[in-house]
Amino acid sequence: MTTTLAPPDTPAASPLDALTPEQIESFGEEMDAIRQRLLAERGEDDATYIRGLIRAQRGLEIGGRALLWAGVFPPAWLAGTAALSLSKILDNMEIGHNVMHGQYDWMNDPKLSGERFEWDTACPADQWRHSHNYMHHTHTNIVGKDRDIGYGVLRMSEEQEWTPYYLGNPLWAALLATFFQYGVALHDLEVEQPLGEADERARKLRLAKGIWEKVRRQTLRDYVLYPALSGPFFAFPLTGAATANLARNLWAFTIIFCGHFPEGTHEFSEEETEDETRGQWYHRQVLGSANLSGGPLFHILSGNLSFQIEHHLFPDLPAHRYAQISVDVQEACERYGIPYNVGPLHRQFGSVVAKIFRLALPRPARRALPGPARLGGFAKQVAARLRP
């Protein structure tokens, strides 16, 4: 299932060069043809699907809030928290993320317009559209351009230069997962970068104000307004909402980190991706992405990011169609000898966790978690790095 390529520390040629330019262009034309076929089919079924999902999400949210209002009764708290968690997961992933890609712009419905949609999370929708739709989807896995590689916090690629800060890689990852909605919200702000020139500072101040405004509204709603309705029992809706936010954070982190970091995905340099053709762009999207296998409910809850490869090839096609086209994409990849990376969640996420630990160390020490046996070498490497 998972296709493992040559280890990145062998000086093999870039996977981008594995195909001839003619093959790459012909692969690109096949991808365009798949896209055209789907565009011709797109219609009422897609509208019915997304509206049905929105209906389910709104129902789960209202139901969840109502149950949490009576959260003093443990079964109500449990059911309410579960419903609110599901509501936030659906809202952010299968609805928000996909609508904001413009997947439903063709419907011309202002409520489903990618430009106008706002979602139930800390990150303001307009900032997300920039950092995600443009920066990440255009520059997928290009080190130095795609800030999704580690979110400016983690070391997720050998190409990122090691500093002692990255010794905390696993800890930073755990913190990022826990507070993921805030990590995403701060994404566009590039807080780890120097402040820059005056106009850059003004831009960042504008972004920060937008984030603050959104976080304030979200916090007020989840942690003040709804709890206040329960009077003396305010703690139950409050802890319910906190748990729902945490559940959504952990789930979203897990799914998103399985998109580009499992074993076998590739990162690229700015030089090797300069002046890309459309075919080369398609090729890079496949090489840099990984899929998760699972059932229909799993795919919906993952926002169909379980079809990360298809999503990166066709980010603005309705995501619930990815399953259908994945058959053709995988078949084409096999014919061209392009690795199509797919595996179950436990295996893909396991390899991501392994990578997070591995890259805490200065040099790629493949397939070895830091254990007692390696601690000596590890200490030496740290000492070597710290020496002036």
CB of 143 to another protein, least distance (A): 18
> Residue 210 interacts with another protein (CB under 8 A)?
no
Nearer to another protein, 129 or 374 (CB): 129
Residue 160 has phi, psi (to 5 degrees) of -80, 130
Nearest 5°: CA angle at 113, between 107 and 119?
135
* Contact string (CB under 8 A) for another protein, positions 134-163, x = contact: xx-xx-------------------------
> Residue 59 interacts with another protein (CB under 8 A)?
yes
CB of 43 to another protein, least distance (A): 4
Q: Shortest CA distance to 91 belongs to which of 251, 220, 223?
A: 251
Among 9, 17, 29, 115, binds another protein (CB under 8 A): 115
Beta-carbon count within 10 A of 31 CB: 24
Residue count, binding to another protein (CB under 8 A): 47
d(CA 276, CA 130): 21
Paired tokens of 254: 């897990």
d(CA 174, CA 170): 6
> Residue 374 interacts with another protein (CB under 8 A)?
no
Q: Interface with another protein by CB under 8 A: which range of 74-82, 124-132, 205-213, 328-336?
A: 124-132
Among 94, 120, 188, 310, binds another protein (CB under 8 A): 120
Among 15, 80, 102, 262, binds another protein (CB under 8 A): 102
Among 48, 163, 193, 324, binds another protein (CB under 8 A): 48
- 191, 131 in Cβ contact below 8 A? no
> Residue 188 interacts with another protein (CB under 8 A)?
no
Among 37, 206, 209, 217, binds another protein (CB under 8 A): 217
> Residue 75 interacts with another protein (CB under 8 A)?
no
Return the residue matching tokens 């919200």.
185
Paired tokens of 358: 């591995």
Reported as type and span, the H/E element at residue 345 is helix 345-358
CB of 118 to another protein, least distance (A): 4
Among 46, 94, 188, 267, binds another protein (CB under 8 A): 46
> Residue 316 interacts with another protein (CB under 8 A)?
yes
3-state SS track over 255-293? HHHHHHCCCCCCCECCHHHCCCCHHHHHHHHHHCCCEEE
Q: Burial, 115: exposed, middle or buried (Cβ in 10 Å; 0-12, 13-18, 19+)?
A: exposed
Residues in the chain: 388
Q: Interface with another protein by CB under 8 A: which range of 57-65, 75-83, 176-184, 253-261?
A: 57-65
d(CA 282, CA 27): 8
> Residue 335 interacts with another protein (CB under 8 A)?
no
Q: Interface with another protein by CB under 8 A: which range of 46-54, 66-74, 146-154, 245-253?
A: 46-54
CB of 47 to another protein, least distance (A): 3
268 pairs with which residues across the strands? 142
CB of 129 to another protein, least distance (A): 7
Return the exposure string of 146-174: e unless at least 16 CB atoms fall within 10 Å of the residue's CB, then b.
Answer: bbbbbbbbbbbbbebebeeebbebbebbe
**SS3 label, residue 188:** helix
d(CA 135, CA 151): 12
Among 206, 209, 278, 366, binds another protein (CB under 8 A): 278
342 pairs with which residues across the strands? 291
Nearer to another protein, 65 or 358 (CB): 65
Nearest 5°: CA angle at 282, between 281 and 284?
65
CB of 132 to another protein, least distance (A): 9
> Residue 129 interacts with another protein (CB under 8 A)?
yes
Among 128, 151, 172, 226, binds another protein (CB under 8 A): 226
For another protein, the binding residues (CB under 8 A) are 32, 35-36, 39, 42-48, 55, 58-59, 62, 101-102, 105-109, 111, 113-115, 118-120, 125, 129-130, 133-135, 137-138, 217-218, 220-221, 225-226, 278, 281, 315-316
